[in-house]
Amino acid sequence: MFRYAFIITKIRMTISKKVYIIINCFFLITIGCKSITKISQNVTLKAQKADYFADNGFGNAVAIVQHPSGVFHNGITYVCYQGPLEDPYVASYNHTTKEWKGPFKAGISQMGKDPNRKKKIDNHGKPALLIDDEGYIHIAFGGHGGTHEDGENPLGNHHYGKNLHAVSKKPLDISSWETLDNISLFGTYSQFVKMDNGDIYLFYRHGAHRSDWVYQKSVDNGVSFNKPVSFLKHKRRTEIEAEDSWYPWVSKGNGDDIIVAFDYHICRDNKNAQDARGHIPERHNVYYMVFDTKTGDWKNVKDERLKMPLTKEMADEKTLITSTDLDWTFQGVTDVDPKGNPQVIMLVGPDIGEKRSGPKRLQHFRWNGQAWIKSKNSDLPRGNGDLEVKSAKEVSIYLESDTNGDVGEISRWDSFNGGESFNKRTVFLRRKNSSFVISSLIDNPHPDARIIVGEKEEGSDYRKMYLLGDSGPIKRNKNKTIFEKPTINKFNN
């Protein structure tokens, strides 16, 4: 009897074990299928690529005037732009590993935090970026002239924000930053230039419209800067109710030279007897000059020394490329050929009696060794851009433009006859019903990463940010491009 009971028990155990195994296998298969499904979903998610690297560009997130917005260094392109609440953001792309890092917030701007401000987005404090000889990354950002609370501005007037300087805590590491107190707070339109010997120059306007343009120089990789030195002088006009003001674009030339293209802003009083429109963004003329950083001399294109800071009268006499008469100008850019002969582009449009000019188009000028030659330029569309001069004859313009009125486009237009005619050679990006903001060319650009642009989202203040080169946009995993977009009432100032 005991034997039969034992056999029955063993049979039950065997059956139970098989049932257990079957149940367990079913469970494992179920879990496995879910895991496989999850892995498959993750793989699919990772496989989804976006052609933009971030979607939190804010307002005019990049511009030609605040530059450079990017630097190519040791196989990596580093980029910066204006993000939520006008704070600066920095990202990087490794061209070997195809890996994106960031964006990381690199500092806190004083602008963009006031919910009662009439102008929703100031846009004057966009960051400029530079990498020093020790590998530390620098950005200048956040200023539109400073405020009266910051004290007296000895070189101009006040407006808003603070000009700030932040440095990465470790070389070539964009993840952590420190804001230093070693440049003037009264700044806007920051422009960095690094010379071959490692000297750093930071150019900016020392205040609001009625201020000198200055530079501060550092010889210790941005640890300290010399006091501001004026190179374009603001001053009161005597014959009309206005002041002289300027808009330069500064870049490294050949050797020890820094080259400057600029136009003149007639800064009228809000109430004046000459123009009922009051203070308007009226700018005229095209100018060019050179700063020899080795000797400290400023010169015109004919190598004649200039007395600094430059006044309107001296600029007209010694540095004038062309007078635009009543036509308005905007955003000049310059580059030089291997022999040091400059070329300049400037947007020019008619005065139509409104507070803005009529449509502006790029005009191109080339110094032939004896005179400035104005190109016909009939082939270029409306749009703003940067200039690259490879030789006296070979020149390219990287252009943001609207085609057919409803298609935004970023393209390169090439000339092989010194700018007499241009032809569209490369289209980097096209979007229907879109508009773009564009940076200057990235310093020492990789062919795949030449320029940064922002695409405006319909009904939003935010922009998708693209890094563009000869192969079009550099793509990124889509799940890595979405960032929180804070509102002012969420920000703890």
Q: Reply yes or no on whether 189 is catalytic.
A: yes
- Residue 387 CA to residue 364 CA, distance in Å, equals 10
- Residue 435 CA to residue 443 CA, distance in Å, equals 24
Q: Which one is catalytic: 189, 247, 264, 288?
A: 189
- Residue 64 CA to residue 69 CA, distance in Å, equals 8
Asked if residue 470 lies in contact with residue 426, where contact means CB atoms within 8 angstroms, the answer is yes
Per-residue pLDDT of the chain (493 residues; tens, 9 = 90+): 333 333 333 434 443 444 344 334 343 334 444 444 444 444 444 558 999 999 999 999 999 999 999 999 999 999 999 999 999 999 999 999 999 999 999 999 999 988 878 888 999 999 999 999 999 999 999 999 999 999 999 999 999 999 999 999 999 999 999 999 999 999 999 999 999 999 999 999 999 999 999 999 999 999 999 999 999 999 999 999 999 999 999 999 999 999 999 999 999 999 999 999 999 999 999 999 999 999 999 999 999 999 999 999 999 999 999 999 999 999 999 999 999 999 999 999 999 999 999 999 999 999 999 999 999 876 788 899 999 999 999 999 999 998 777 889 999 999 999 999 999 999 999 999 889 999 999 999 999 999 999 998 788 999 999 999 999 999 999 887 777 677 544 333 3
Q: Which one is catalytic: 67, 124, 158, 159?
A: 124
Closest CA to 348 of 329, 323, 324, 321: 329
Give me the CATH topology for the region 2-490. Methylamine Dehydrogenase; Chain H (2.130.10)
> Residue 301: exposed, middle, or buried by beta-carbon count in 10 A (0-12, 13-18, 19+)?
buried
- Residue 426 CA to residue 443 CA, distance in Å, equals 20
Cα–Cα distance list, 171 to 120, 135, 136, 182 (Å):
35, 5, 4, 19
Closest CA to 301 of 292, 311, 312, 288: 288
Asked if residue 336 lies in contact with residue 253, where contact means CB atoms within 8 angstroms, the answer is yes
- Residue 132 CA to residue 328 CA, distance in Å, equals 37
Q: Reply yes or no on whether 124 is catalytic.
A: yes
> What are the tokens at 245?
């003001």
pLDDT at 16: 44
